[in-house]
Amino acid sequence: MRVSLLLGLLLIHSACNTKEQSYPNIVWLTTEDNSPHHMKLYNGDGVAMPAIEKLAKEGIVFENAFSNAPVCSVARSTLITGCYAPRIFTQFHRRAQSVPLPQGLMPFPFYLKQAGYYTTNNHKQDYNFILPDGVWDESSKKASYKNRKPGQPFFHVQNHTVTHEGSLHFDQKWIDKTSDEDLEQIQVFPYHPDTKTFRYSYHHFQNRHVLADKQMGEFIADLEQEGLMEDTIIFYFGDHGGVLPRSKGYAYESGLQVPLVVYVPEKWKHLFHHGKGSRAKTFVEFVDLAPTALSLAGVSPPEGIDGTAVSGLFSQASAIEKKNTSFGYADRFDEKYDLVRTLRVGKYKYIRNYQPFNIDALYNFYRYKMLAFKQWDALYNEGKLNQEQRQFFESKGPEGLYDIDQDPHEVNDLSASPEHQEILMRMREQLSEKLATLPDLSFYPEPYLLEHALGNPVAFGQNHQQEIKELMAVADLNLSSFEAVQEKIKQALTDDNPWKRYWGLVVCTSFGKKAKTLVPQIKNLVNQDKENLVRARAMEYLMLNQEPFDIKIIEELLKKAKSQTEANLILNSLGLIKKLKPQLKLNLSKEIFPSEWYDKPNDLVNRRMDYLIGNRINK
């Protein structure tokens, strides 16, 4: 890291003269589980947030700001490092084990602290990595910038939790006692059923926005009383997208897009490329906020991060004007697995579903504590949903393409449209190149990474970059017709590399009954393969396509699981089978696993087993 001599001299001068501060204070005001879709500042049907709207008048509203992940621990790990999570093995929510950061890289507040800043966090951390010492001067519920030395610039994070998902875990009585008239103005998204339960969920969530705005207004008023507004740049953003069903945990814009408002004091407007009171089209990803904060403080962003500064001394206007892309990732959310990657370029959004048979509605304990989730599921089972509302419960295509300007809720897939094939192919190639370049560690199963990459994930990825490309090539076979790639799938199923066999089976399951000609090979794998997770994927194909095999193999696979993480991955397949094929009976017992795996009620294996054996905690 390089800190200019000028910065050092200015900070010394600042410490001696409290009336003149030479570098700005930086404040991050964050709300949890929030999205711009519910704010009047972005959407006319949203709720007014006067404190944030006041900041916007004196600053910049970014219309294209994105979390790289639609869930908190992954998003926060991305924010604080400036690194894409699938590159550094922080992509799984929540972590099975914390990982070390890449050698030579620290969370960005460390560099601010080295440059003379007082760094405070109030108070959530929730990172998927081992937090090194020396990052925060204070990090607690009582952490305050007010404990700094006279004249010392500060970086402060103030997190507000009132919009968190847990606030929507209300009882039916709250809906019943709310009149229909109070909910008349609610505009339900097209993929949600227009019921009182959903209308009340919107209404309640918007009210939580109002409360969060009030709390942030009080914090801002305190800054004003301290006489700090002219020396403090304030960022407001959500820690990822919203929390209503199909938002948090899902790589749609509802889960990835965030509000981002930056208050710019007159004194520091020269550090920005957009004028005060403007609405910027520039794309900003969470990986960009770390280098941006450093750049505003006059600190050159270190090598080894993925983001780009969008303001400050080390930002470039020419590059920012062209910045119109964002990258998203969705892997494991508690006990629910998936593998989704997204690329947004201008108005187009490309989604790559590597396991398209893994329906969005797959049961997740925490998600389904929400009454709206439960009602949506019930209405689907009763056949009472329209086409747009049913998509959440049905298999997806391996890829999707959406025109966000025309279709902001991503319900009209253009990937089969002849007029959009050139755009589809270009974005497919762009995303594939990005994943290979990272490289993306998620082409290995999480249990394998925990066993082989935990000590130095970045080095592991670099050393296995060619193999990851080869695994991607197998995974991409489901982008063609089965007839065109049948021989390549056969080769993958007999490859010496177990993860090529693994991905060959995932591709077979993507094709479903079209891959029936490969059933003899698949049965051979479920019976004889040496890798437990390969056998599990073969079992998944056979059960989803109702092909007979020895059902005792299920218990055998679970007993052979070497860790809770491995067991959870196998149980994810069984959870999908239970949802899609309820007529198939799974005779399972918790006695399959060691008793210590059930020490905590919220452990992932415990949650999934409760669902599978019918002992659902949150009926």
Domains in the chain: boundaries: 5-168+205-321, 331-423, 443-612
pLDDT band at 599 (very low <50, low <70, confident <90, very high): confident
Cis preceding-peptide flag for 164 (omega within 30 of 0): no
Which amino acid would we find at residue 386?
Answer: N
Query: Greater confidence, 509 or 602?
Result: 509
Average pLDDT rounded to a whole number, residues 60-77 = 98
CA 140 to each of CA 78, 223, 269, 291, 553: distance values in angstroms, whole numbers, following the listed order:
20, 19, 31, 24, 49
pLDDT in tens, 147-156: 999 999 999 9
Question: CB count, 10 Å around CB of 490?
Answer: 14
Domain 443-612 class in CATH: mainly alpha
Mean pLDDT in residue range 479-496: 98
> DSSP characters for 209-265?
HHHHHHHHHHHHHHHHHTT-GGGEEEEEEESSS--STTSTTS-SHHHHEEEEEEE--
CB 608 within 8 Å of CB 336:
no
Residue 619 has pLDDT above 70, yes or no: no
- The radius of gyration of the chain's CA atoms, rounded to the nearest angstrom, is 25
Between 21-30, 218-227, 578-587, the lowest mean confidence (pLDDT) is in 578-587
Rounded CA-CA distance 579/200 in Å is 27
What does the pLDDT read at residue 616? 41
Residue 4: predicted pLDDT: 41
CA–CA separation, 330 and 353 (whole Å): 10
Report residue 121's pLDDT band, with 50, 70 and 90 as the boundaries: very high
6-20, 61-75, 360-374, 416-430: least confident range? 6-20
Q: Starting at the edge strand that comes first in sequence, how are the strands of the sheet with 118-122 ordered?
A: 138-139, 118-122, 154-160, 25-31, 232-238, 257-263, 59-66, 278-285
- At residue 127, the pLDDT reads 97
Average pLDDT over residues 101-130: 96
In this prediction, residues 134-138 reach a mean pLDDT of: 98
Other CB atoms within 10 Å distance of the CB of residue 92:
25
Q: Is the pLDDT score of 105 beyond 50?
A: yes
Strands of 106-168 (E only): list them.
118-122, 138-139, 154-160
Please check whether residue 333 is in contact with residue 364, taking contact to mean a CB–CB distance below 8 angstroms: yes
Give tens-digit pLDDT for 317-336.
Answer: 988 989 999 999 999 999 99
- What's the chain's average pLDDT? 94
pLDDT digits (tens, 9 = 90+) for 168-201: 999 999 999 999 999 999 999 999 999 999 999 9
The per-residue DSSP string of 25-64 comes to: EEEEEEESS--GGGBTTT-TTSB--HHHHHHHHTEEEEEE
- For residue 349, what pLDDT is reported? 98
pLDDT by residue (tens digit) across 539-597? 999 999 999 999 999 999 999 999 999 999 999 999 999 999 988 888 899 999 999 99
Confidence of residue 91 (pLDDT cuts 50, 70, 90): very high
CATH superfamily entry for domain 5-168+205-321: Alkaline Phosphatase, subunit A (3.40.720.10)
Q: How confident is the model at residue 69 (pLDDT cuts 50, 70, 90)?
A: very high
Q: What is the mean pLDDT of residues 217-239?
A: 98
Q: How wide is the angle at C-alpha 412 spanned by C-alphas 410 and 417, nearest 5°?
A: 130
**Average pLDDT of the residues in 34-39:** 94
- Count of CA atoms in the C-beta half-sphere (13 A) of 83: 28
> pLDDT tier at 413 (50, 70, 90 boundaries)?
very high
Please give the pLDDT value at position 614. Answer: 82
Amino acid 615: pLDDT: 53
pLDDT at 398: 98
Distance separating alpha carbons of residues 359 and 378, to the nearest angstrom: 16
pTM metric for this prediction:
0.95
Task: Check residue 20 and give its pLDDT.
Answer: 66
Kind and range of the H or E run holding 353: strand 348-353
460 falls in which pLDDT band (50, 70, 90)? very high
> In whole angstroms, what is the distance from residue 481 CA to residue 370 CA?
39
